[in-house]
């Protein structure tokens, strides 16, 4: 055989092998990018979240969604169906930014009419850059260009880990409980209580951020990543809530010098959102019986799943609904007072 013929044969064999690999990934589709998995139970955990989210948003059966960061990952869509109506799914991104949330909202609204969006407004999400994501993202899965999906078809982790996982789960059909379990981090090994203070800070700040330090970033994120969905979809009810971080999270902000700047975001976001008829704003940040009880927290930020359940019940009853800027400002001043009391005491006082 001539060298030229051998090279042609080797190249043809390589192309055929690559084609077969791509075809296998497309057929099994570990992250449900092209269709809902019906022959196997997919891996839907925090390792796969940024890959799986695009397929979940496109292909699952839902008309309502809970959107947010890790503090929203323990919501139970089945409870939300029961209490709030509709059929919910979780579209959450751990450490997600407003841009992360917008990527998922766009896929949701592009693929179906949406009855309701429950949106956890994490102040940390709105201080990021307008195109900043919380972690490295496979953005090629979130667009409409099928050709750049080659990064999915020939992905080392897909071929080495997740494709074999799917084959091992072959024949295990998805059940409706997957909506509750997907991406949830709560487990039997979690420790709540005094251990939650491991990342807390109670020391006076060395330097203070100005109160308006983050207002520009928040305004841009609102205008680019949240308000367009509200304005373009007046038929969709947006239930937006401020999550209940522990009081120690706010003292840590004070210790870092960012408390006033982050508290200012609450008022700015409320002002931007409160004028829309399809928006209801809830505030659980100063819910005293939750945020001063460490048995609800595994760290200063993350609360147990029973709090997620209670948030749903509160929304059902209208508890925590913000009816005026003065009401929100009163809660903001309470957060500031708790933070400074903890700093003055040099530790937990509740």
**SS3 call for 205:** coil
pLDDT of residue 10: 64
Segments making up each domain of the chain, as ranges: 44-148+179-345
pLDDT of residue 13: 67
pLDDT of residue 61: 95
Higher pLDDT, 48 or 91: 91
pLDDT of residue 233: 98
Q: State the residue for tokens 């949240």.
A: 226
Kindly tell me the burial class for residue 33, based on how many C-beta atoms sit within 10 Å of its own C-beta (0-12, 13-18, 19 or more). buried
Q: State the residue for tokens 């009163």.
A: 330
pLDDT of residue 175: 84
pLDDT digits (tens, 9 = 90+) for 68-78: 999 999 999 99
For residue 96, give every residue at least 6 positions away whose Cβ sits within 8 Å of its Cβ, in sequence order, or none: 68, 69, 122, 125, 133, 134
Question: What is the average pLDDT across 195-211?
Answer: 95
pLDDT of residue 1: 61
Of all residues in the chain, the percent with pLDDT exceeding 70 is: 96
E strand or H helix that includes residue 240: strand 237-242
In 96-197 the beta strands, taken as DSSP E runs, fall at 116-120
pLDDT digits (tens, 9 = 90+) for 148-189: 898 899 888 888 888 888 888 888 878 888 999 999 999 878
Query: Could you tell me how far CA 328 lies from the centroid of its own chain?
Result: 23
Question: What is the average pLDDT across 284-297?
Answer: 98
**Phi, then psi, of 283 in degrees rounded to 5:** -130, 115
Between CA 174 and CA 260 the distance in angstroms is 46
Q: Is the pLDDT of residue 120 over 90?
A: yes
Q: Is the pLDDT of residue 3 over 80?
A: no
Question: What is the average pLDDT across 112-126?
Answer: 97
pLDDT of residue 350: 95
Question: What is the average pLDDT across 305-319?
Answer: 98
For residue 217, give every residue at least 6 positions away whose Cβ sits within 8 Å of its Cβ, in sequence order, or none: 126, 127, 128, 129, 130
User: Whose CA is closest to 133, among 109, 102, 163, 155?
Assistant: 102
Of all residues in the chain, the percent with pLDDT exceeding 90 is: 77
Q: Is the pLDDT of residue 52 over 70?
A: yes
| Mean predicted lDDT score pLDDT of the chain | 93
Using an 8 Å Cβ cutoff, are 188 and 61 in contact?
Answer: no
Q: Is the pLDDT of residue 32 over 90?
A: yes
pLDDT band at 22 (very low <50, low <70, confident <90, very high): confident
User: What does 52-76 look like in DSSP terms, one character per residue?
Assistant: HHHHHHHHS--SEEEEESGGGTT--
Kindly tell me the burial class for residue 207, based on how many C-beta atoms sit within 10 Å of its own C-beta (0-12, 13-18, 19 or more). exposed
pLDDT digits (tens, 9 = 90+) for 220-272: 999 999 999 999 999 999 999 999 999 999 999 999 999 999 999 999 999 99
- Topology annotation, domain 44-148+179-345: Rossmann fold (3.40.50)
Residue ranges in the chain assigned as alpha helix (H): 3-28, 49-59, 77-84, 98-111, 150-153, 156-157, 163-168, 178-181, 215-225, 227-232, 247-256, 259-273, 288-291, 305-317, 325-345
């Amino acid at each position: 055989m001539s060298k030229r013929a051998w090279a042609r044969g080797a190249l043809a064999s390589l192309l055929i092998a690559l084609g077969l690999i791509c075809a296998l990934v497309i057929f099994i589709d570990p992250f449900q990018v092209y269709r809902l998995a019906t022959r196997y139970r997919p891996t839907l955990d925090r390792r796969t979240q940024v890959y799986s989210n695009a397929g979940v948003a496109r292909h699952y059966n839902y008309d309502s969604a809970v959107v947010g960061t890790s503090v929203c990952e323990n919501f139970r869509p089945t409870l939300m169906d029961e209490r709030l109506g509709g059929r919910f799914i979780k579209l959450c991104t751990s450490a997600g930014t407003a841009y992360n949330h917008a990527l998922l909202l766009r896929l949701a609204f592009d693929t179906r009419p949406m009855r309701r969006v429950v949106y956890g407004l994490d102040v940390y999400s709105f201080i990021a850059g307008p195109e900043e994501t919380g972690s490295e993202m496979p953005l090629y899965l979130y667009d409409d260009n099928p050709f750049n999906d080659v990064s999915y078809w020939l992905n080392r982790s897909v071929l080495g880990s997740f494709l074999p996982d799917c084959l091992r789960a072959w024949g295990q059909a998805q059940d409706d409980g997957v909506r509750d379990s997907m991406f949830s981090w709560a487990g039997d090994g979690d420790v709540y209580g005094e251990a939650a203070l491991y990342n807390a800070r109670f020391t006076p700040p060395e330097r203070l951020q100005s109160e308006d330090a983050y207002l520009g970033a928040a305004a841009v994120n609102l205008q680019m990543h949240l308000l367009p969905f509200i304005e373009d979809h007046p038929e969709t009810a947006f239930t937006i809530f401020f999550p209940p971080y522990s009081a120690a999270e706010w003292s840590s902000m004070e210790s870092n010098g960012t408390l006033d700047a982050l508290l200012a975001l609450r008022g700015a976001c409320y002002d931007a959102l409160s004028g829309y008829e399809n928006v209801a704003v809830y505030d659980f940040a100063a819910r005293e019986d939750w945020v001063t009880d460490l048995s609800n927290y595994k760290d200063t930020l993350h609360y147990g799943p029973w709090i997620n359940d209670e948030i749903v019940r509160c929304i059902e009853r209208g508890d925590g609904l913000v009816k005026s800027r003065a009401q929100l400002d009163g809660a903001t001043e309470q957060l500031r007072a708790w933070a400074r009391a903890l700093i003055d005491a040099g530790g937990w006082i509740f």
